[in-house]
Amino acid sequence: MLVLGIETSCDETALALVQDGRKVITSVVSSSLELHKEFGGIVPEIANRHHLEYIIEALEKIKESIGGDLKKIDLVAVTYGPGLMGSLLVGLSCAKALSLSLGVDLIGVNHLKAHLYPSLMQEKNRSSSIIGLVVSGGHTVLVKVKNYLNLELLGQTKDDAVGEAFDKVAKILELGYPGGPIIDKLSREISTENYVNFTRPYLNKNSLDFSFSGIKTAVLYYYKELACRKKVTRYEKIKIAAGFQDAVVDVLVQKTIYACHLTGIRKAVVGGGVSANSHLRKKLKAKAEKNSIEVIFPSMDLCVDNAVMVAGLGYQLYKLGQKSDLTLKADPTANF
Ligand code: KG4
Ligand code: ZN
């Protein structure tokens, strides 16, 4: 079954063709990230306009890749939320028009659940539940995945998402936007003993909820205090950024392992933009191995927003009897 996935929830206009939920035929991603850089964050109006301008071009590329015949598509899967209202509407309108004109079914996909798909699809044979950790710019969530339809929320952030904290800390330190990849790269320049030591924001070690706004404020005060006394050097900024990264990674690792212990599950999957973080990958893999837990990360190209995950999850849900119709609505605050 050839599924077209459409993802326009934030700043990526992404379309992909995936065969039977696994084989990627085409994946097109155009990001408006560059246009947001000067504002230090996503500007919804700019993102919306980019989707409008780019989506037809992306569809042309998809069409070319299947010999110019869109009729080869069997199902259209689209992100309905969470995300920016205007951006979601562009993807939904395109998906509905295609579903209607091609005479194929439409299926709405939750963006958060889709983020776990690139890791879930790497599994060979699954018979029991898995722990899922979604770490993105807008969410930090721990779930128990029973199957594609049945996900149980175990914990989530009480305030900032972890990706958001990376972006805000990079802004405080004037390192650029988006902060996650920048902090990740810079931190690799120094050794661990030079990291500034920040208190780990565990909230409570027995809780599966997260809180990242406190550590962001701790970074702000540390930086301000230093800047009052002298000009802060690039090296000092890296020491702070790396210390922040180390602290939040420790929290993500502790809670993921704790979720496994609490549920007796020995396998975890990770997804979302922050799953590209090299420090998180290294530390979580090491800790999981020590605890005899298998952990699966997405391939690097499928960490940030893409349409492969939407087509893939759409296919699995459709196989389980789910589908949407033309009344499908955008839901900017959709949760698990
Ligand atoms: O999943 P995503 O593309 O969009 C949302 O659904 O939010 O995630 C974007 C977030 C941004 O906050 C970005 O800074 C973060 O993912 N990110 C990273 C890395 N690459 C992207 N954070 C830490 N380390 C990275 N290597
Ligand atoms: Zn995302």
Residue 244 and residue 219 in contact, taking contact as beta carbons nearer than 8 Å: yes
Q: What is the mean pLDDT of the chain?
A: 96
- State residue 302 phi and psi, 5-degree precision: -105, 15
- For residues 101 and 41, the model is more confident at 101
pLDDT, tens only, 136-167: 999 999 999 999 999 999 999 999 999 999 99
Ligand 1 mutation target, pool 166, 172, 249, most atoms within 8 A of CB: 166
- Rounded-to-integer distance, Cα 293 and Cα 314, Å: 28
- Rounded-to-integer distance, Cα 198 and Cα 143, Å: 27
| Per-residue model confidence (pLDDT) at position 205 | 87
Q: Specify burial of residue 18 (Cβ count, 10 A radius: 0-12, 13-18, 19+).
A: buried
Structure tokens that stand for 269 in this block: 């999957």
Q: Which residues approach ligand 1 with their CB closer than 6 A?
A: 10, 136-138, 163-164, 166-167, 178-181, 184, 272-274, 276-277, 304-305
pTM of the predicted model, to two decimals? 0.96
Residue 89 and residue 13 in contact, taking contact as beta carbons nearer than 8 Å: no
| Per-residue model confidence (pLDDT) at position 123 | 84
Mean pLDDT of 119-125: 87
Taking the centre of ligand 2 as the mean of its atom positions, its distance from the CA of residue 91, in whole angstroms, is: 15
User: Quick check: 326 pLDDT over 90?
Assistant: yes
What share of the chain in percent tops pLDDT 70? 100
Mean pLDDT of 288-312: 97
All residues with CB under 5 Å from ion ligand 2: 136, 305
Residue 312 and residue 18 in contact, taking contact as beta carbons nearer than 8 Å: yes
| Per-residue model confidence (pLDDT) at position 55 | 98
Nearest bound ligand to the CA of residue 300:
1
Ligand 1 mutation target, pool 87, 304, 333, most atoms within 8 A of CB: 304
| Per-residue model confidence (pLDDT) at position 325 | 97
The residue nearest atom 7 of ligand 1, judged by CA position, is: 137
What share of the chain in percent tops pLDDT 90? 95
pLDDT, tens only, 220-236: 999 999 999 999 999 99
Nearest bound ligand to the CA of residue 282:
1
Query: C-alpha distances in angstroms, 92 versus 197, 296, 322, 333?
Result: 45, 30, 17, 16
Number of helices (H), then strands (E), belonging to the chain: the values are 10, 10
At 203, is the pLDDT very low, low, confident or very high (cuts 50, 70, 90)?
Answer: confident
**Which candidate, 322, 331, 333, places its Cα nearest to that of 3?**
322
DSSP, residue by residue, 194-225:
GS-------S-TT---B--HHHHHHHHHHHHH
Taking the centre of ligand 1 as the mean of its atom positions, its distance from the CA of residue 136, in whole angstroms, is: 5
Mean pLDDT of 196-219: 95
Nearest bound ligand to the CA of residue 244:
1
The residue nearest atom 16 of ligand 1, judged by CA position, is: 273
At 126, is the pLDDT very low, low, confident or very high (cuts 50, 70, 90)?
Answer: confident
Q: What's at 163, amino acid-wise?
A: G
At 135, is the pLDDT very low, low, confident or very high (cuts 50, 70, 90)?
Answer: very high
Of ligand 1's listed atoms, the one at least distance from the Cα of 167 is 14
Nearest bound ligand to the CA of residue 11:
1
User: Quick check: 127 pLDDT over 80?
Assistant: no
Ligand 1 mutation target, pool 117, 184, 248, 274, most atoms within 8 A of CB: 274
Taking the centre of ligand 1 as the mean of its atom positions, its distance from the CA of residue 166, in whole angstroms, is: 8
Question: Looking at residue 72, what DSSP letter applies?
Answer: G
